[in-house]
Chain A
Amino acid sequence: MRIESHQQFDAAVEAARAAKLSKGREVWVCCGTGCLANGSRAVAKAFDERIEAEGLQASLGLYHKTTGCHGFCERGPLVVIQPEGLLYTKVKVTDVPEILEKTVRNGEAIPRLQYKDPVTKQAVAKYEDIPFYKHQIRVSMRNIGRVDPEDLDDALAHGAYSGLAKALFAMTPDQVIAEIEASGLRGRGGAGFATARKWKACRKAKGERKFVLCNGDEGDPGAFKDRSIMEGDPHSVIEGMIIGAYAIGAHEGYLYVRDEYPLAVVNLGKAIEAARLRGLLGANILGSGFDFDLRISRGGGAFVCGESSALMRSIEGRTGEPRAKYVHASDKGLFDLPTNLNNVETWSDVGAIIANGGAWFAGWGTPKSKGTKAFSLVGKVKNTGLIELPMGTTLRHIIEDIGGGILKDRPFKAVQTGGPSGGCLPADQLDLPVDYEVLSENGSMMGSGGMIVMDDRTCMVDVARYFLKFLCEESCGKCVPCREGLKQMLHIFEDLCAGRGRPGDIERIERLCHAMQLGSLCELGKSAPNPVLSTLRYFRHEYEAHIQDRACPAGMCRDLTAYEIVEEPCTGCHQCTRVCPTDAISGKPKQKHVIDPAKCISCGSCFDVCPEDCIRFFPKNGSKEAANAHADH
């Protein structure tokens, strides 16, 4: 039923809350992309069928719902039993009867399905006690994993659209902007531009027709925070956009979502439809007299289409290529009309800020970076996934307490932040508080909040080469410094990693970096040198080793590295022979094994499995002494 006034909205929320409370117990099954890939749809179906067949709704007051991503995908499918908040991980269809019988009926835990803390090795029963969640504070992800993204009433019961009702009925557009200003919210899509300033400029821009856009392109490899928000809590994004449109004076909006996110497109589409039916979108929203409607625009999935001018061209149906803009989008954006673009996470923050007040959000963070921020934590840490934390949290806290430390307790080497055009920070920077300025000052950036943790078995030259390769493929190729510069830079890095480095390469790299930063048309090219410059800044000795000694100190560049088994601790346990892909290792059981250098492809698999630590690497073409010198470094 359409909601046509403030009172009716409050009544609808009340009704949704009451309906929620009347459901005594609930089983939540995560159906985010990660859990779906692990088979969660079948688990959800099994719960549904059992509850139906056994009449558990009537007898136990048990309900079942599917939710969006909890951020802990590597342990999926995840199941949460409410109201106790018990978490089960890696649940299979065959576990369903046991969960219903033991846990739901008899209140017994099933230790096999509980999460085991990799640090303490203890089972943790409750969702909120898991270190991965315990330290988090969720604003943009406030309802993900808690609401059923396909159920508007469930979202209303969890507070969705209460910020919108407040904005429309109790605030002027200027007051909305002032509240966002007080919150200190800055763009979560990369550059960290003050959101209120952008809105103000667009509000002031002349023109009847204006647009608000949502950037859901999320092209960084490995990033998935925006996807999780769009899939798991689409109403938070829609609510933010309506509030922004009201503040700016726009009546039309587009959600730009990459084509590789089919579930996000589906869930957003359903949410838009549901919101329209209830009078939350379209003409005369909630009877306030304000009109706004939204459309989804599906992007082809190029990284560069996330750049604002390219994104707008792409929505217009043209090639998604950046344009030089000495005129701001707030004056001339989509179809050359005033336009405001924000990231998915930024939009999701907006509703909560209006509902709770700017000061509430500004209560977290550092002097210049307020509130909380979503990060995707990946790489060589024990717990990987999606997290949201106050700005100013230290890297150490994120990696050690939430990530649970480095896999296999190897030494930490660096953390890469900010996506492909971010940078790497070394161990002595771990106590840096994460905020926009601190990361930039130290050669990295916030970007969209990607964090890749690296251990000692990571070659920093190779890391830079990896990002260059990505950017070289994703550069649109319109301007010379980026297109040709990245191509040439990649040539140099491929040579370095193959032992063909030459004196003068570092200087050549620096010269190119400088010209690309100054001369490129868009931020892709301007920031492409970041991974190179930050690794040069903190790990220059690794570059020098590649050039002068033809050695890879981390033992990762295969062309430069050879392996051998040292006499002493080798027990002939055979583990290495089992993993060697080329059968290069031989030896009798319980006797020292040897590696045949002619067959060895330097993949390092044996090194990673040897329980006795008796496999050593050294530069293929250099002296073993040089290897030892580097190993001591």
Chain B
Amino acid sequence: MPTLTIDGKTVHAPHGTFLLAACRAAGIEIPTLCEHPAVEPYGGCRLCVVDVTRPEWNGWNKMVVACLFPVEDGIIVDTRSERVLETRRVVLDLLLARCPETPLIQALAGSYGVTKTSFVLNPEPTDCILCGLCTRICDRMGISAISSVDRGAGREIAPPFKEPPPDCVGCLACAEICPTNHIRYEASDGRRRIWGKDFEMLRCPRCGRAHITVAQADFFAGKNGVPRSYFETCDACKRKELAATATKLAGGASTPAVEQGTR
């Protein structure tokens, strides 16, 4: 198992893990915006930059993003060198110019001493930081209903042709994963609307709650051999059922099934 030094601490990390995980395991905090355990690392926000060196490099450092850099034996990592902090400050300063009204960015920038941007304020403030989490989670599920469109300064996240996305199943994963709550949706009993598309909901056969969209159940049905009926029951009812079964197996309750079983 590679042994490395992070901010003076000796840390062991298994082969193939990324530096970010090793830092966190060692209790060292690294700011991140585009990283999430559910999706592949991306390296877009650049907040997790750290300095890496080796004794034989004679003082030369390379700056890497911790979320993508695989741990190596013998490296010496500095997560708070002056240039690391300065790079994060400029990145946050730039993000604050883009998203001046976004609480998450305000707070993160504030923690690096940036309370007011030194750049030109975005005339159309947005909450989207283009971290790519929404598109990656959607890709991850094999749906790919939304993607980033346009390059450079004009880049944005949108469905194809900016019309209600045909592939979207209304699962809300993008909205759930969005760190700034930029992706909005409307949900009322029996109806859901996201990306300009309306969804019909499916009711749980047990409790009657409208918990997933019909499109979602259709999409997941049959995947990995799981029948559609599995998705029709809501999670809460499934949990209840599971708890009941567990209790039965433990032999605690006086349900006939268990009694039969113990005989």
Also in contact, A519 and B49, with CB within 8 A (given A474-B151, A477-B154, A477-B155): yes
Q: Please, how many angstroms separate the alpha-carbon atoms of A71 and B90 in the complex?
A: 45
- Cβ of A295 within 8 Å of any chain B Cβ, yes or no, is no
Determine the chain A residues whose CB is within 8 A of the CB of B119 once the complex forms.
Answer: 484, 488, 491
Cα A479 to Cα B130 in complex, Å, equals 8
**Binary contact readout A506-518 vs B (1 if CB under 8 angstroms, 0 otherwise):** 0010011011001
Known contacts A481-B90, A491-B119, A304 near B151 by CB under 8 Å: yes
Q: Taking the complex as formed, is A415 at the interface, i.e. its CB lies under 8 A from any CB of chain B?
A: no
Of B44, B148, B154, the contact of A479 (CB 8 Å cutoff): B44
Q: Report B227 CB to chain A, min CB distance, Å.
A: 33
Write out the residue numbers on chain B whose beta carbons fall within 8 Å of the beta carbon of A487. Answer: 152-153
Interface presence of B97 (CB below 8 A): yes
Inter-chain contact B46/A483, CB cutoff 8 Å = no
Cross-chain contact of B151 among A327, A473, A508, A518 (Cβ < 8 A): A473
Taking the complex as formed, is A520 at the interface, i.e. its CB lies under 8 A from any CB of chain B?
yes
Among A477, A478, A519, which residue has its beta carbon within 8 angstroms of that of B153? A477
Contacting pair B64 A518 (CB below 8 A): no
Closest B residue to A326 using CB positions: B69
By the criterion CB–CB under 8 Å, are B118 and A472 in contact? no
Given A304-B151, A480-B95, A519 contacting B43 (CB threshold 8 A)? no
Asked if B202 CB lies within 8 Å of chain A CBs, one says no
Chain A 483-505 interface mask (CB, 8 Å, partner B; 1/0):
11111100100000000000000
Known: A473-B152, A484-B97, A488-B119. Is A478-B63 also a contact (CB below 8 A)?
A: no
* Distance between Cα atoms of A477 and B147 in the complex (Å): 13
Residues of B within 8 A of A491 (CB): 119-120
User: Among the interface residues A324, A472, A480, which one has the most CB atoms of the partner chain B within 10 A?
Assistant: A480
**Which of chain A's residues have a CB closer than 8 A to the CB of B132?**
478
B153 touching A518, Cβ below 8 Å: no
The reply to whether the CB of A521 lies closer than 8 angstroms to some CB of chain B is yes
What's the Cα separation between A514 and B85 when bound, in Å?
13
Shortest beta-carbon distance, A604 to chain B, in Å? 29
Verify if A476 is at the interface (C-beta below 8 Å from B): yes
Q: Which of A302, A473, A479, A521 has the most CB of B within 10 A?
A: A479
Contacts A488-B119, A515-B91 hold; do A481 and B46 have CB atoms under 8 A apart? yes
A479 to B150, CA, bound (A): 14
User: A319 in the interface, Cβ–Cβ < 8 Å?
Assistant: yes
Partner of B118, one of A484, A508, A518, A519: A508
**A323 interfacial by beta-carbon distance below 8 Å:** yes
| A521: chain B residues within 8 A (beta carbon) | 43-44, 46, 65
Q: Residue-by-residue, is B83-105 near A (CB-CB < 8 Å gives 1, otherwise 0)?
A: 10011001100110110000000
Q: Which of B90, B130, B153 contacts A486 (CB 8 A)?
A: B153
| Inter-chain pairs besides A518-B63, A521-B44, 12 sampled, C-beta below 8 Å | A319-B147, A327-B70, A474-B152, A476-B155, A477-B150, A478-B130, A481-B90, A511-B90, A512-B90, A518-B49, A520-B46, A521-B65
Pairs across A and B, CB under 8 Å, 15 listed? A319-B148, A326-B68, A473-B153, A474-B151, A476-B152, A477-B148, A479-B44, A479-B45, A481-B94, A484-B97, A484-B153, A485-B90, A488-B119, A488-B120, A514-B90
